[in-house]
Every structure is written in structure tokens, then in C-alpha cells.
Amino acid sequence: MKTKEEYFDSLRELKLEVYMFGERVGNTVDHPVIRPSANAMAATYELARGDTMTAISHVTGKRINRFTHIHQSNADLVNKSKMGRVLGCYTGACFQRCAGMDALNALSIVTHDIDRKYRTDYNRRFLQYLEYVQENDLACDAAMTDAKGDRSLRPAEQLDPDQYLRVVDESGDGIVVRGSKLHQTGALNSHEIIAMPTRAMREEDRDYAVVFAIPSDTKGIMYIYGRQPCDTRKMEGQTFDVGNLYYGGHECMVIFDDVFVPWQRVFMYKEHEFAADLVEKFASYHRQSYACKAGMGDVLIGATQTIAEYNGIAKAPHVRDKITEMVHLNETIFCCSLACAHEGHRESSGTYYVNSLMANITKLHVTRIPYELAKIAHEIAGGAVVTMPSEKDLRHPRVGNYVAKYLKGAGAVPAEDRIRMMRLVESLTMGLGAACYLPESMHGAGSPQAQKIMIGRQSNLDGKKKAAKRLCGIE
């Protein structure tokens, strides 16, 4: 397994074509805007010890980072949820490696199922690739979300056929793909890109039903960095105005400009009827992964309680009640994630799969609860969350003393501590951290309607009706 330092060294070896703020970026690892997200990914290497963060490979028998592991039991699924919460609390940010893990597990099931129907050898290819990922402790970026163009049209119906990633050529050596994947979390911090369909496909969409994995610096791949609220604060030096001093997340638009993929790295090729199953498997795994939001919620609850103490209101009954409500809501997320793990089952491939209904309920709660936590945090912290002067003003020879005098907290709490905590709440709920806590809670792993559709499909209303009719004597 890689150490944190070895991980950073491996990123420096990548030759990525990256654009940000209208300019090409050379060294992404040490760029002040990008580095906090690399630090968060590095935490998955730094903390890789013990049964929660590591596992025994079913391929090699070696101890590996759990982010490269294929779940072999319900205990593995439970440890995955625990790992997400630990890292969410440790970084207070998106640590970006879950989607790759979830893609690997979904592919371990679906490649086996395709082979069983068509006598292909996708699963053999996949297991060889998996061993390579495990042996080198690689971070994988799961690329699923296409640009989509006109969302009322299917992939093959688009006026611009490149609105969904597709195969444009093939040869005896491999295939050539063209298109784009959007909202790619942690793409610049990943060694590999795993591209998958984003929706169910029909026969006419078969050129879009493709799954492959390639190195992230493959020729023809370009990355366009996504903006975040307050992102240029990170370019102002190491000031506490950023809120979270150490960690962050990032998203990119990834362009595939006629990229060549060798056959050995192709895990689905035009088997369009399996696209929906792959999307569902990946989505269910990834919706379980939102136990990380309980970890980030831990940080927000801690910040809110601390501000209440700094403001001298921590003992007020209504404040204590609101903090308790925050804890109650936050634990609901974690309870759901654990439940879908405990109720998981073994697939024919040998991989353990979560209870899909409960995984979708987990994520539906995540589209609501973090927003409620943010609301309570704002109520307790007060309007100062959005009116704090900058650190430079606190240090200024003329006005600094006034900032320190009038923004100090209860008792002996200095203004600097109070401002730092306010900035953390700001970054988690409105600024830099909000990019991976609130909007990502809403849209990551699918927006609320996607979960509602899956819940509706799996709700067994007929069984519930039968139970009701039996009890009141209706045949």
C-alpha cells in the first residue's frame, strides 16, 4: 500500500492536460487551489490501517487499501460505511475515492453477468485490471455523468451525437471513444479513469454502451477545473479565511477527444441491455457511500456547539434542543448506511451487494438532512457567519485592535478563535466546503428523483396491501 508521500509522488508523475480559469495548469499537485483536494484524497492513504480502512484481497491474499477491495461479506459493507464516516470527520471534505471503489464493485458483478450470457471474457479482463489496481494502490475516478444535451432525447437521438460518450472507431487493437463526462470528483487526483454509461440503453444506443478503464493521463484526455464558491481565497496564502485549512474537494469536466482504449481495458462493448443494471448497481453502492456526510455532519455539529459556547448561549434550552436535533438527524444518515450494508447479499460473482432499497433511502435522507443541519448551524451561529472581516483586517496595524476588541467571544475567547470557527461553518455550508457538502449531498449519486424512482420500484406495495387486507378481513 502507498504511503501519503508516495501518493503525492505518484501524482507528480502524471502528465495531465488541465485548464483552470482560462489557463493551462502545469503542476496540479502543488497548485494552491487544487492542493486541498489532493490532501483529502491523501488521507485515504494516510489512515490505511486496521480492519476498517484495509482488507484482504480475494485475488492475491494480500492486505490492501479498502478503496481497492471487492466486498466479500456483509462485514466488508459495514466497514465501508464506517470508513466513510471516519474520513468525512477527519477531512471535513469530500475525499473523492468512493466512486472508484463503487465502480470496481459494480463491475465485478456486471462483467460476470455479461460473460454468463454471452460467453465473453470481460470478467477475466476486469480481474486482471483489479489486481493491477490493488498491487499499485491506485485511486480510480468513476466517470458516469454524460453531458446529455437535450435531456428529452435518448443518446442516439441527440443532434450532436457526442453529448453522450460513445465509440467512434474500432480496430484489432482496441476502440476509440469521444465525448465528455461532467462533475468528475477528484479527477485530477486519480490515477485511473473508469468510464461507464449514465443511463439505460436500447439497441439503437449500443455505441454508447461501453465501459473501459484507462490511465488518467492518456493522450486525448483534457480536464477543465470546475469553479467553487470563494475558490480564489485559497490563492491568498495560508489564511483562516478558507475555513477548512487543510482539506477540500474538486470537480472537473473531462473531455475524451478521440481517445484510444486497448481491448484489454474494455469491460462492456455494446451489450446495451446491461447498461441499466450497471447504473443501478453503481448507484446503490455509491448511495451507501454517503455515510461520509455523517462524518462531515459531525464536524458541523462540533463547530455549531463550539460557536454556541463562544457566543455564551450553549446552556440555553432551545440551543441544546437544536444541537440534539442535529445529532438525531445526522445519526439517521449513518443508521441507514449501516442498514443497507447489514441487509446486503451475495451475488453470483461472489461480490456482496447492498440492499438497494435501503441504499436509496440513505441517499434520499442525504438530500435533505445536511440542509437542515446547515439551517440550524446558521441560526445558532448568527449573521456573523457571513459578515466576518478578513484575517488581513485582524492583522492590520490600524484596525486590527478594533476587530479583536469587538469580535471577541464570551469570557476569554479571543476574536481569532471565534472568527476561525465562523469561517469553518461558512465554508461547510456556503463557501468552499459547500461544494462537496450541500450541492453534492443533493446531486451526487443522483438527485432526489432518482432515489424516489428506485424506492418506488422496490417498495413492494402489493405485499403491504395484502397485509392490510388480511387484518381487516378482505379476501
Q: Which residues are catalytic?
A: 94, 98, 185, 251, 286, 290, 292, 440
CA angle 154, 152, 201 (to 5 degrees): 25
Contact 381, 425 (CB under 8 A): yes
Q: Which residue is it, cell 464536524?
A: 299
Greatest Cα pair distance, the chain, in angstroms, is: 84
C-alpha cell at 107: 463491475
255 bridge partner residues? 180, 222
Q: How far apart are CA 245 and CA 399, in angstroms?
A: 24
Residue 341 in 3-state DSSP?
helix
Q: How far apart are CA 190 and CA 96, in angstroms?
A: 9
Q: How far apart are CA 163 and CA 182, in angstroms?
A: 11
Q: How far apart are CA 80 and CA 338, in angstroms?
A: 9
Q: How far apart are CA 131 and CA 408, in angstroms?
A: 55
Q: How far apart are CA 175 and CA 184, in angstroms?
A: 22
Which H, E and C letters describe 345-367, residue by residue?
EECCCCCEECCHHHHHHHHHHHC
Q: How far apart are CA 364 and CA 393, in angstroms?
A: 42
- What is the number of residues in the chain? 475
How far apart are the two ends of the chain, measured CA to CA in Å?
Answer: 61
Contact 326, 297 (CB under 8 A): yes
Contact 223, 37 (CB under 8 A): no
